[in-house]
């Protein structure tokens, strides 16, 4: 990897965009949070555990987690038609799987925990920002959890490994082009709970990309913890 590779916004290869995290942004919700990577802003609300209807969807052995992810219509330059799409359906489902290993829902049979994630402003990495927000919102809602889930996109521009790609970097088309690899993991273990990739990466590069994401996730984890603690300090 060439040391001189310049990212469009001048970041180092392993440098995340400036992040913001805030817990308790939606008073109506049982838990809520905002998380942003640079210009990508996600908010998440958690409602539940609450009674699940229709009844046939209930699981008598545990509560279920139900995630919904979508872009707001004005979060992108070309207005996004409101309502679910194949893309948002897929992301909702993989988000659910990314979060599930972190939560204990055995104490809440027949209930549902609804996680609503919306993107206010999109500049790549929306699903990962959404997972970070949702993980904080679940903790804020007091759902029993064994860990927080941290998520980041890593990838490549040509042969250069980079972390937290912007839209411009996702669209990079020189050399080997762009690789975009969304990863989520439990903060304090080796468990990887989300993997979605597009691009061109040699098999031997994948472990390096994962290592890069592990490093980034530990930074994200600190920001999530800080935001959660500050809410407790305020006595909410």
Partner 1 sequence: MSSMEVSNLTKNMLKRMFLEDKRFDSRGLLDFREIDVSYNVSNKAEGSARVKIGQTEVIVGVKLVIDSPYPDSLDKGNLMVSGDLLPLASPRFESGPPGFEAIELPRLIDRAIRGSGMIDLSKLVIKEGAKVWTVIIDIYPINDDGNLIDASCIGAVIALKNANLPEFDENFRINYEKKTDNKLPLSEETYPLSFSFFKLGDFIILDPTREEEEACDTRLTFGISLLNKEHLINSCQKKGEIPFTSKEIEKMMEIIPKKFDELNKRLKKFL
Q: Which is nearer to partner 1, 73 or 89 (CB)?
A: 89
Report how far apart, in Å, the C-alpha atoms of 20 and of each of 16, 46, 204 are.
Answer: 11, 19, 33
Stretch binding partner 1 (CB under 8 A), from 1-9, 45-53, 160-168, 190-198: 190-198
Q: Which is nearer to partner 1, 27 or 207 (CB)?
A: 207
Residue among 69, 70, 63 nearest 103 (CA)? 63
- First CA to last CA across the chain, in angstroms? 47
Q: Which is nearer to partner 1, 195 or 231 (CB)?
A: 195
Site string (143-182) toward partner 1, x via CB under 8 A: --------------------------------------x-
Interface with partner 1 (CB under 8 A), residue from 199, 215, 219, 222: 199
Site string (64-93) toward partner 1, x via CB under 8 A: --------------x-------x--xx--x
Interface with partner 1 (CB under 8 A), residue from 6, 55, 60, 190: 190
DSSP state of 31: E
Angle between helix 126-140 and helix 86-99 axes, rounded to 10 deg: 50
Q: How far is the CB of 30 from partner 1 (least distance, A)?
A: 22
Stretch binding partner 1 (CB under 8 A), from 13-21, 67-75, 183-191, 222-230: 183-191
- Distance between CA atoms of 207 and 214, rounded to whole angstroms? 10
Residue among 158, 93, 91 nearest 119 (CA)? 91
- Distance between CA atoms of 206 and 14, rounded to whole angstroms? 15
DSSP state of 107: T
- Distance between CA atoms of 227 and 23, rounded to whole angstroms? 6
Interacting residues toward partner 1 by CB under 8 A:
78, 86, 89-90, 93-94, 96-97, 100-101, 181, 185-186, 190-204, 206-207, 210-211, 214
């Amino acid at each position: 990897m060439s040391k001189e590779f310049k990212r469009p916004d001048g970041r180092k290869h392993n440098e995340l965009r400036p992040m913001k995290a805030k817990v308790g942004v939606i008073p109506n919700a049982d838990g809520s949070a905002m998380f942003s990577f640079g210009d990508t802003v996600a908010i998440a609300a958690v409602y539940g555990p609450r009674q699940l209807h229709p009844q046939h969807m209930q699981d008598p052995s545990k509560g279920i987690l139900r995630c919904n992810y979508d872009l707001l219509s004005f979060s992108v330059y070309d207005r996004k038609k409101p309502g679910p799409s194949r893309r948002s359906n897929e992301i909702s489902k993989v988000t659910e799987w990314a979060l599930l290993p972190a939560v204990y829902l055995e104490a809440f049979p027949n209930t549902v925990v609804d996680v609503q994630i919306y993107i206010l402003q999109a500049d790549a990495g929306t699903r990962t920002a959404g997972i970070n927000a949702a993980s904080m919102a679940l903790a804020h809602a007091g759902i029993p959890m064994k860990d927080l889930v941290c998520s980041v996109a890593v990838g490549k521009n040509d042969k250069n490994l980079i972390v937290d790609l912007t839209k411009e970097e996702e669209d990079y088309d020189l050399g080997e082009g762009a690789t975009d690899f969304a990863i989520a993991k439990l903060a304090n273990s080796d468990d990887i709970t989300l993997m979605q990739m597009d691009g061109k990466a040699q098999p031997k590069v994948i472990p390096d990309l994962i290592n890069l994401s592990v490093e980034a996730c530990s930074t994200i984890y600190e920001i999530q913890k800080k935001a959660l603690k500050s809410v407790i300090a305020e006595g909410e």
